[in-house]
Amino acid sequence: MDRPAKTGMADLAIALGFGLVIVTSLFVVSAVSGLFSAGAMDADNAMRLVEIQDYLGGQNWFDVSQARLGPDGGTAMHWSRLVDLPVLALSSLLDVFLPSEAALHWATVIWPPISVVLLVGALVTGARFLGGRETLVFTCIIAATILFRHQNFLSGSIDHHNLQLGLLALALAFSIDPQRRAISLAIAGAALASSVAIGAEVYPFVAVICAFHALDWALAGRAAQRGAMAFGLSFATMTSVFFAASVAPANYAAVYCDALSLVTASAALLGGAGLALAAASLSNASRPWRLAGLGMIGLGCGLLLTWQAPQCLANPLDGLPSIVRTLWLEKVDEARPLFAARRGAWQEIPFMVGISLVAAIVSIFQIELGINRRAHILFLLLLVLGLVLTLQQVRFYAFGHIFAILPLGAWVGGLFTGKPDGSKRGVGYILALAASVPLVWGAPGMFLKPIPASNAPVTAATCASTDILSALDAQPEGLVLSVADAAPDILRYTRHRALHGHYHRNAAGIEMALRIFISTPAEAADLMRADGVDYLLVCPSHGEMQMLAKAHPEGLAGRLEAGDRMDFLTRVAGNDAGETLYAVAR
């Protein structure tokens, strides 16, 4: 009678120890890397902080627009306010002991490392569904090699990526409950609804998990009835709740393809409630009838989407102006295809896709052997989708790493346990473990990476230093043109407006900025006056400026890089890094 309790306590100790090690490691790496500094945030995280500061400054909860970003009228951001809640809650708690500004800063330091607990809990849960303690231990080992310094969980990483990874992992873990318990699948549905509310980039993964549960019910019938009903109702209900909590009533009828809106909520409500109703009424019917019922639900969702938002059937980025696609989107590393020509691409590719490919192969063999077949079917679907999306945009490789952990942990754990007859498999599990670690796949690239010459200049990748921002803030309020990376800091530390940043809804501002930079100085002067640009912040060492100067050497960026003087620019401030702030003559 005591043995199960003892085993449970041991597993709990392993899980708690694993979580503590990962959280501690993330804090240590953050501290050593200087990420406790308020100025260490990258552009997206800094913009998220601007959004939080706007809310604390009185902006409406439902209003996530940036009035000071882009041309007149600002930019309607597609981000969810729900992601701000953990930072706001921590800031409120720390505000009791610290000044408000310090409380907000330390909330951005603390939240990302502790947010990994959601992912850790999901992986531990999934490992327990897949097998014994060996699976749990090796899942923790493999996960530790991925998470101990994961950029989305380091201090300052307050954008939505950490929550997206954790919520998808939670949905995956509870989806593979072999008993299809209602509570497990209800949690999976709620996790998916939360992920839908946070960001649209995960919609393909959400669609796969939803389709998996629907087909699982259609094939299994009565055995999957309660779980399918719980999943469908949870997904529909929670999506509706998040819709009401994050969309202003005045915008209920508005349709957006890149954020939670009427079309998303309608599809979730129809699909989730339809699955629950079908499971309640058709589970005892024959399989063809169940498939027919499921087909009617799918047809209804398809017709609803086609009627409400046919434009959402295409990639929303396809509508960007040509110049924005070629000189902005195609130059953003995380949005580029896997095999696109970029610095160090061939060294990075094995690291990005190595363990995902191994995990997909493992799942295929496990399906053939009938080992946790239902779970491995879902793993395989998500891994293949992750690889396909990574081919299109490299940022999706992070999802593949997370999806690979559970099948690889179960595989290595099974090899370690030994053969069914009790004989050991030798050291094969060590080789399997090595093949399951991304760093092993990345090692050849690190060794093959060319060593820069000792006399090669070291250029800064940042722009808008503290002294330049202080000088800018002292000027009369106006519109600033600089590189896209500088926009969040301009908004965060000054009273000024920024013409463009790395946000696709800011396409008009991006197009204006690019046209100015690639036009001849005389044409650029006319464009800046016409567009109302008051200040130009030049950062010669920044990659964006160098790219534009190289592509259009006779343009404004090229002539500034060459050191040409222009009579329509009056120097306001500069520093030793070459950053220069100019006022534009009206």
Summarize pLDDT for 419-474 with one digit per residue, the tens.
555 555 567 889 999 999 999 998 877 666 655 444 433 344 568 899 999 999 99
Taking CA atoms, 133 is separated from 9, 129, 139, 424, in Å, by 11, 11, 10, 17
Task: With residue 581 as reference, give the H or E element that holds it.
Answer: strand 580-584
Per-residue model confidence (pLDDT) at position 456: 39
- 135 shares a domain with 110: yes
- 295 shares a domain with 265: yes
Per-residue model confidence (pLDDT) at position 454: 41
- 527 shares a domain with 418: no
Instruction: List residues bridging with 498 in a β-sheet.
Output: 69, 480
- What's the average model confidence in pLDDT over 246-267? 92
Q: Which amino acid is at 452?
A: P
Tokens 């729900």 label which residue?
82
- 217 shares a domain with 110: no
Boundaries of domain holding 269: 199-310
- Report the chain's mean pLDDT, rounded to a whole number: 91
Burial class (CB in 10 A: 0-12, 13-18, 19+), 343: exposed
SS3 339: coil
Instruction: List residues bridging with 535 in a β-sheet.
Output: 480, 583
CA atoms within 13 A on the CB side of 221: 11
Return the closest-CA partner of residue 43 out of 461, 518, 396, 323: 461
- 470 shares a domain with 440: no
What is the distance between the alpha carbons of residues 208 and 332, in angstroms, rounded to a whole number?
27
Per-residue model confidence (pLDDT) at position 449: 60
The answer to whether residue 183 is domain-embedded is no
**Residue 539 scores a pLDDT above 70:** yes
What are the tokens at 515?
A: 């046209």
**Residue 2 scores a pLDDT above 50:** no
Task: Identify the band that residue 109 occupies on the pLDDT scale cut at 50, 70 and 90.
Answer: very high
Crossing angle (nearest 10°) for helices 161-175 and 100-130: 20
The answer to whether residue 457 is domain-embedded is no
The answer to whether residues 472 and 480 touch, using CB atoms and an 8 Å cutoff, is yes
- 172 shares a domain with 203: no
- First-to-last alpha carbon distance for the chain, in angstroms, is 85
Taking CA atoms, 529 is separated from 317, 523, 559, in Å, by 29, 10, 19
For the chain, the domain total comes to 4
**Residue 42 scores a pLDDT above 50:** yes
The answer to whether residues 366 and 409 touch, using CB atoms and an 8 Å cutoff, is no
How many H helices and E strands in the chain?
23, 5
Task: Indicate the residue among 449, 482, 516 that finishes a domain.
Answer: 449
The answer to whether residue 187 is domain-embedded is no
What is the distance between the alpha carbons of residues 279 and 282, in angstroms, rounded to a whole number?
6
- 286 shares a domain with 172: no
Return the closest-CA partner of residue 136 out of 8, 21, 22: 8
- What's the average model confidence in pLDDT over 513-526? 95
- 296 shares a domain with 148: no
**Residue 350 scores a pLDDT above 60:** yes
The answer to whether residue 335 is domain-embedded is no
Per-residue model confidence (pLDDT) at position 451: 52
Return the closest-CA partner of residue 207 out of 264, 126, 273, 289: 264
What is the distance between the alpha carbons of residues 8 and 223, in angstroms, rounded to a whole number?
27
Per-residue model confidence (pLDDT) at position 320: 79
**Residue 83 scores a pLDDT above 60:** yes
Per-residue model confidence (pLDDT) at position 419: 58
Task: Indicate the residue among 449, 475, 490 that finishes a domain.
Answer: 449
Q: What percent of the chain has pLDDT over 90?
A: 76
Of 105-109, 420-424, 550-554, the range with the lowest mean pLDDT is 420-424
**Residue 114 scores a pLDDT above 60:** yes
Name, in order, each residue with C-beta under 8 angstroms of 35's C-beta and a sequence gap of 6 or more: 109, 154, 155, 156
pTM of full prediction above 0.75: yes
- 138 shares a domain with 24: yes
Taking CA atoms, 350 is separated from 84, 391, 392, 405, 473, in Å, by 34, 13, 16, 16, 45
**Residue 86 scores a pLDDT above 60:** yes
Determine the longest span between alpha carbons in the chain, in angstroms.
88
Task: Indicate the residue among 421, 449, 477 that finishes a domain.
Answer: 449
- 171 shares a domain with 210: no
The answer to whether residue 391 is domain-embedded is yes
The answer to whether residue 344 is domain-embedded is no
The answer to whether residues 473 and 495 touch, using CB atoms and an 8 Å cutoff, is yes
- 17 shares a domain with 150: yes
The answer to whether residue 9 is domain-embedded is yes
- What's the average model confidence in pLDDT over 381-400? 96
Identify the DSSP state of 479.
Answer: E
Per-residue model confidence (pLDDT) at position 325: 83
Crossing angle (nearest 10°) for helices 203-220 and 262-282: 10
More confident residue, 405 or 37: 405
- 379 shares a domain with 271: no
What is the distance between the alpha carbons of residues 409 and 431, in angstroms, rounded to a whole number?
13
Per-residue model confidence (pLDDT) at position 474: 96
Taking CA atoms, 45 is separated from 30, 329, 493, in Å, by 15, 19, 14
